[in-house]
């Protein structure tokens, strides 16, 4: 057993590295249609997937998002940047080929069982394995498109979300209150998908088990989580190697 500190950025990279080998992702990316909806965590995933396919040219995770949380006054009322000229769409991959410029809205109605959507989240209840998405668009934006495909046609839905987004409460109750008439600010929608955090990533990559021991930090470690990791010696060795490599790549000190 040992401890490891993961910053939010390193956690996003860890989630992406694990999802690349996720069985559902492997099946969808090569044999079906996979949609990586723009988001900060999904930017790391799209980067890893496109690199594995040899199609990374032309992709940048720099503005691979629609809504984003920034300090007050830096986004529109819908949580978006005033200048979105650098946003080029989601990453839609059909049978191993990136369909450049396509978005979830272009393919949502044609997706079917066997296809896969990956959609990030803004709130995580790790106890109940629930994830919620902030809604700024009056028609529900990409979350509604993903929900219609997942609930209406059994399209696979994975929700990559970092542990820094955990909340201490029942998201169903919080959503009911935040979405009530007369309230202000973004709404929130729970999505019925597979919640995939750094904990699931560690389990998939190494077989080791992780849990949150402590959180927080300064000097670049704001929002970090300290994980307690347990497993067989070979699992711990594999896990440590992967985590140290990711920490080094993301330019964070261990």
pLDDT digits (tens, 9 = 90+) for 15-71: 999 999 999 999 999 999 999 999 999 999 999 999 999 999 999 888 888 876 767
In sequence order, what are the residues at sequence separation of 6 or more whose Cβ sits closer than 8 angstroms to the Cβ of residue 179? Answer: 187, 188
pLDDT on residue 254: 42
Would the pTM of this model clear 0.85, i.e. be above it? yes
Distances (CA, A) of 104 to 19, 39, 40, 167: 19, 13, 16, 28
Residue 99 has phi, psi (to 5 degrees) of -90, 85
Confidence of residue 219 (pLDDT cuts 50, 70, 90): confident
pLDDT at 117: 98
Q: Return the SS3 of 216.
A: coil
Average predicted confidence (pLDDT) for the chain:
91
| Mean pLDDT, range 231-235, rounded to an integer | 97
Map residue 181 onto helix, strand or coil: coil
The secondary element (H helix, E strand) that includes residue 29 is helix 23-31
Per-residue pLDDT, 185: 87
3-state secondary structure of 102: coil
Taking phi over 0 as left and psi of -120 to 50 as alpha, with beta for the rest, 126 belongs to alpha
User: How far is 105 from 63, CA to CA, in rounded Å?
Assistant: 18
Residue in the block written with tokens 């060795």: 237
Whether residue 169 is predicted with pLDDT greater than 90 in this model: the reply is no
Residue 66 confidence (pLDDT): 84
- Angle of helix 40-53 relative to helix 8-20, nearest 10 degrees, comes to 40
pLDDT > 50? residue 149: yes
Sign (positive or negative) of CA dihedral 6, 10, 14, 19: positive
Mean pLDDT of 158-177: 94
pLDDT digits (tens, 9 = 90+) for 86-112: 777 899 999 999 999 999 999 999 999
How confident is the model over 112-143, as pLDDT tens digits? 999 999 999 999 999 999 999 999 888 889 99
Q: What angle do CA 167, 126, 6 make, to 5 degrees?
A: 85
Distance CA 232, CA 26 (A): 27
């Amino acid at each position: 057993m040992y401890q490891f500190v993961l910053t939010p950025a390193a956690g996003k990279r860890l989630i992406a590295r694990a999802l690349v080998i996720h069985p559902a992702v492997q099946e969808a990316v090569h044999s079906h249609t996979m949609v990586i909806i723009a988001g900060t965590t999904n930017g790391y995933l799209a980067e890893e997937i496109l690199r594995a396919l040899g199609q990374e040219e032309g992709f940048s995770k720099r503005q691979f998002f629609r809504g984003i949380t920034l300090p007050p006054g830096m986004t529109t009322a819908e949580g978006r940047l005033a200048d979105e000229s650098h946003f080029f769409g989601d990453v839609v991959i059909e049978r191993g080929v990136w369909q450049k410029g396509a978005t979830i809205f272009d393919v949502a109605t044609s997706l079917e069982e066997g296809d896969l959507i990956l959609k990030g989240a803004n709130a995580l209840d790790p106890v109940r394995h629930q994830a919620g998405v902030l809604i700024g668009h009056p028609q529900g934006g990409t979350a509604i498109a993903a929900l219609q495909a997942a609930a209406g046609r059994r399209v696979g839905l994975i929700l990559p979300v970092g542990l820094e987004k955990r909340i201490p409460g029942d998201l169903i109750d919080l959503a009911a209150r935040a979405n009530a008439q007369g309230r202000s600010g973004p709404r929130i929608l729970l999505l019925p998908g597979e919640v995939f955090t750094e904990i699931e990533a560690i389990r998939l990559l190494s077989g080791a088990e992780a849990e949150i021991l402590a959180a927080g930090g300064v000097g670049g470690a704001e929002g970090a989580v300290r994980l307690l990791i347990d497993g067989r010696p070979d699992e711990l060795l594999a896990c440590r190697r992967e985590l140290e490599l990711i920490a080094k790549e993301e330019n964070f000190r261990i």
